[in-house]
Structure 1
């Protein structure tokens, strides 16, 4: 009888322990929801699955970097589900400060990463053109934008 009672107590403890873990995971989801909504700006460069809006502004930013003129820009890439991932680039006349914010991606890790890079380069292939950051102090996804031919 003691063995049955002990097993019963152990079973109840496991159930309560499992319920508590579910509560903790719910809190993590709640924290993800505390990220402020993204409000698009007319200045933003938007990449909606290869369809680029405001590409002229992006080219203006690249020209300013090439000439050594200070400038800043936001590139917004959308996930397949439509979640915005923000990539802010600020050129101070010498280096490009890159901040990538993926906290609004409901299916991703949701983080903010920073890097300082020395330049932005254009890499062309027969299928696409990639705009990439070079000489970065952190290992990051250095692709800023991709256009398909």
Structure 2
């Protein structure tokens, strides 16, 4: 009985301790992406600090994308998050996780136009990323996706 009481107090202490934070932590949604709020915006500066690849007028942290491609080619598990922003400043997240196949998730939950809709988070599994070249740009697309209409959201263009 005494041991159960100690364990109960220890668990209660740990729960209370975990609730004590400095208030600067970023809240995450159901799939682990940062929640963007007026009081705690997920700006491109914060995204870069967190290691995201940020799309805007230029691509920041591009080397992380190339590292992901290299790791994928040699069969090394890896994960990246590509963050872009709507005209209103809401982040759109594209998560790619490689472990033999690519699990691709696009997350529109922070975009007010999609946030309460069932399609605000879409996921598929794909076989590979394919590099396409045209006269001006290098572009990457997902191929061999279980749900290709979801995979078609991913278009990574490098000018």
Residues 114-129 of structure 1 correspond to what in structure 2 (within 5 A)? 114-129=123-138
List structure 1 runs of 4+ shifted beyond 6 angstroms: none
The partner residue of 2:114 within 109, 114, 117 is 109
> What secondary structure, in the 3-state scheme, does the structure 2 residue paired with 1:105 have?
coil
Structure 2 equivalent of residue 137 of structure 1: 146
> Take 2:144 and 2:114, find their aligned partners in 1: how far apart are those partners?
25
Work out the number of aligned pairs and report it.
Answer: 111
Q: TM-score, normalised by structure 1?
A: 0.68
The partner residue of 2:54 within 41, 46, 65 is 46
> Higher relative contact order at CA 8 Å, sep ≥6: structure 1 or structure 2?
1
Structure 1 equivalent of residue 73 of structure 2: 66
Give the drift of 1:142: 4.2
Q: Which has the larger radius of gyration?
A: 1
Q: TM-score, normalised by structure 2?
A: 0.64
> Take 2:140 and 2:72, find their aligned partners in 1: how far apart are those partners?
13
Residues 19-38 of structure 1 correspond to what in structure 2 (within 5 A)? 36-37=35-36, 38=42
Which is strand-richer, 1 or 2? 1
Contact 1:75 1:144 (8 Å CA) reproduced: no
Structure 1 equivalent of residue 101 of structure 2: 95
Aligned Cα RMSD in Å? 1.8
Contact 1:130 1:143 (8 Å CA) reproduced: no
> Take 2:136 and 2:88, find their aligned partners in 1: how far apart are those partners?
25
Segments of structure 1 that go 5 or more residues without pairing to the other structure are 1-34
